[in-house]
Amino acid sequence: MADATVLVLLRHGETAHTEQRRFSGSGGADPALSERGREQARQAAAATSLGPVQAVVTSPLARCRQTAQAAADRLGLPVEVADGLRETAFGAWEGLTFAEVRARFPAELDAWFASPAAAPPGGESFDDVTARVARTRDELLAAHRGRTVLLVSHVTPVKTLVRLALGAPHEAVFRMDLAPASLSAVAHYADGNASVRFLNSTAHLA
């Protein structure tokens, strides 16, 4: 147990796209945090400073960089960028609401829900995202063995890291709630086992 590498998973704070419930991935606009999102980042930073975080790693997208920087400033740590933590590229769906996607791409949306191999037009499938997230996880576990690392990322990568730790099927990503600026944590052990310590904690948010 003492040899665990703990990944503390922080979803970025809100953006205008979050509030409007739009698909916001890594293939379209790169929205910054809204005023509320910046406050959420400050609150999350205060929460992460209470634990033994020894490194901060973020997705390259602006909303995550801003959220990560708030925590890093509080912790007195540098920020490392990992491209594998970026959100899904949603292709033609970028910037659209769910209702707009349902109206314009009904068959493609049904296929996306039905199979992790299906991708939005011009975008990534869940299988694609899982492969790069797992690869990034393994690289970070090797680089930070025995440490507690704050990973600032997005809905799909965070849910994927939790799903993989649980050994749950792909459908589990549709059955988790993950609020903006929420915290989750997964412990990885030297024998290859993992355990989810908590999921979607929002007690630090006002």
Domains in the chain, please, with CATH?
5-201 (3.40.50.1240)
Answer yes or no: 87 catalytic: yes
pLDDT tens-digit readout, 82-133: 999 999 999 999 999 999 999 999 999 999 999 999 999 999 999 999 999 9
- Cα–Cα nearest to 181, from 8, 22, 23: 8
- pLDDT for the residue numbered 3: 82
| pLDDT at residue 26, rounded to an integer | 92
Q: Lowest mean pLDDT of 1-15, 62-76, 118-132, 184-198, name the range.
A: 1-15
Residue 13 has pLDDT above 80, yes or no: yes
Predicted confidence at residue 141, as pLDDT, reads 97
Of the candidates 12, 17, 154, 188, the residue annotated as catalytic is 12
pLDDT digits 0-9 by tens, 139-167 = 999 999 999 999 999 999 999 999 999 99
**Region at 128 (left for phi over 0; alpha for psi -120 to 50; beta for the rest):** alpha
Can 204 be counted among the known catalytic residues? no
Q: Is 63 annotated in some ligand binding site?
A: yes
> For residue 40, which phi and psi values (nearest 5 degrees)?
-60, -40
Model pTM score: 0.96
Task: Supply the pLDDT for residue 109.
Answer: 98
Name the band, by pLDDT with cuts 50, 70 and 90, for residue 2.
low
Pick the catalytic residue from 14, 87, 94, 124: 87
Mean per-residue pLDDT, 6-34: 94
The band of 206, judged by pLDDT with boundaries at 50, 70 and 90, is confident
Structure tokens at 4: 């665990």
Starting at the edge strand found earlier in the chain, the sheet holding 194-201 runs 79-81, 55-58, 148-153, 5-11, 183-188, 194-201
Instruction: Give the confidence band of 51 by pLDDT, cuts at 50, 70, 90.
Output: confident
